[in-house]
Structure 1
Amino acid sequence: MSSTRPPLTQQGADRLRDELEYLKRVKRPEIVAAVAEARAHGDLKENAEYHAAREMHGFNEGRINELEAALSNSEIIDTERLAVGKRIVFGAIVDLIDLDADTEVTYQIVGDLEADIKKNLIAVSSPIARALIGKSEGDEFEFKAPNGIKNYEITGVRYS
């Protein structure tokens, strides 16, 4: 990735496009209707419904702008077409064993915009992702986590 454009996986770009579509086609008309209804109630200075609807409109339009900019400025990487074997690069789905706790975890290394730890999607810029990049299945490594040094073994690397 020689580009300075932030990377996104194809799946992440699809999720962002779906969100953008929802905000434009569903949420925007709902908010416009709410603003119109609140406006019909009269005096706008003391109309809390109107001010809340206008605020929702601002947040929605801000998110639409953010998503449009992200999608137009990002480099979409099709991880299924990467020919890197078992070496870990952007987009890899990595199976790990925490050697200290004897637990297993699976992460996918994704772009910063699509990272979601609850879904085990870790940002390529995160410390653990940086520790994983370039390693291969079977490697062991140390990682300095917020709660101390962790030791991991990489048990699987795949791309989907």
Structure 2
Amino acid sequence: MSAIPITARGAERLQQELHRLKTVERPQVIDAIAEARAQGDLSENAEYDAARERQGFIEGRISELEGTLSNAQVIDPTELEADGKAVFGSTVDIEDLETGERVVYQIVGDVEADIRNNLISVSSPVARALIGKRAGDVVEVNAPSGVREYEIIEVKYI
């Protein structure tokens, strides 16, 4: 399996989720299964079925997180020598030239992308357009709504 790029902050979040699943949620679901078993007939026990389904989800997520973390290539943006260029892990402040709207994105790996938190995947159209560019550069992004132009206001490594 190839290396999975991830920021140091993203790796820490995944480690925290893995720890929570193993130390809090897994024991809770085991207790719920034991409680449901104690009620007798399992063939018509909805609580048992729900707990088993939840256990399957938790175990699957634990396995997924362990696999991701074992193949992770952690990149710390604060240690990059990118000379002002937008690179993996950098935080980029851009302005839409048509609307004047400004937004700040951090370019992250696919597994940690979360648009609600302005974390965009390195493989997204916006990130691909930004990579290698500097403050003052104008980039074109082929969006579903058509071509958009953005000016890079600032590139930070935080």
- Using the size of structure 2 for normalisation, the TM-score is 0.97
Q: Where does residue 115 of structure 2 map in the other structure?
A: 117
Supply the distance in 2 between the matched residues of 1:158 and 1:39 (Cα, whole angstroms).
55
Supply the distance in 2 between the matched residues of 1:100 and 1:70 (Cα, whole angstroms).
39
Structure 1 residue 78 displacement after superposition: 1.2
Does residue 64 (structure 1) correspond to residue 62 (structure 2)? The answer is yes
Which amino acid letter does the alignment assign opposite residue 97 of structure 1? E
Which amino acid letter does the alignment assign opposite residue 149 of structure 1? V
Supply the distance in 1 between the matched residues of 2:119 and 2:94 (Cα, whole angstroms).
14
Q: Where does residue 48 of structure 2 map in the other structure?
A: 50
Structure 1 residue 80 displacement after superposition: 0.7
4+ residue segments displaced more than 4 Å: none
Percent of pairs with identical residues: 57
Which amino acid letter does the alignment assign opposite residue 53 of structure 1? A
Q: Where does residue 8 of structure 1 map in the other structure?
A: 6
Supply the distance in 2 between the matched residues of 1:78 and 1:121 (Cα, whole angstroms).
15
Which amino acid letter does the alignment assign opposite residue 8 of structure 1? I
Which amino acid letter does the alignment assign opposite residue 35 of structure 2? E
Structure 1 residue 141 displacement after superposition: 1.1
Supply the distance in 1 between the matched residues of 2:128 and 2:139 (Cα, whole angstroms).
12
Q: Deviations over 1:100-132 (max 9, x none)?
A: 111000000001000000000001111111111
Unaligned runs of 5+ in 2: none
Which amino acid letter does the alignment assign opposite residue 140 of structure 1? V
Supply the distance in 2 between the matched residues of 1:101 and 1:89 (Cα, whole angstroms).
25
Supply the distance in 1 between the matched residues of 2:44 and 2:129 (Cα, whole angstroms).
54
Structure 1 residue 79 displacement after superposition: 1.1
Does residue 143 (structure 1) correspond to residue 141 (structure 2)? The answer is yes
Q: Where does residue 101 of structure 2 map in the other structure?
A: 103
Which amino acid letter does the alignment assign opposite residue 26 of structure 2? R
Which amino acid letter does the alignment assign opposite residue 51 of structure 2? A
- Using the size of structure 1 for normalisation, the TM-score is 0.96
Unaligned runs of 5+ in 1: none
Q: Deviations over 1:11-64 (max 9, x none)?
A: 000000000000000000110011111111110111110010000000000000
Q: Where does residue 91 of structure 2 map in the other structure?
A: 93
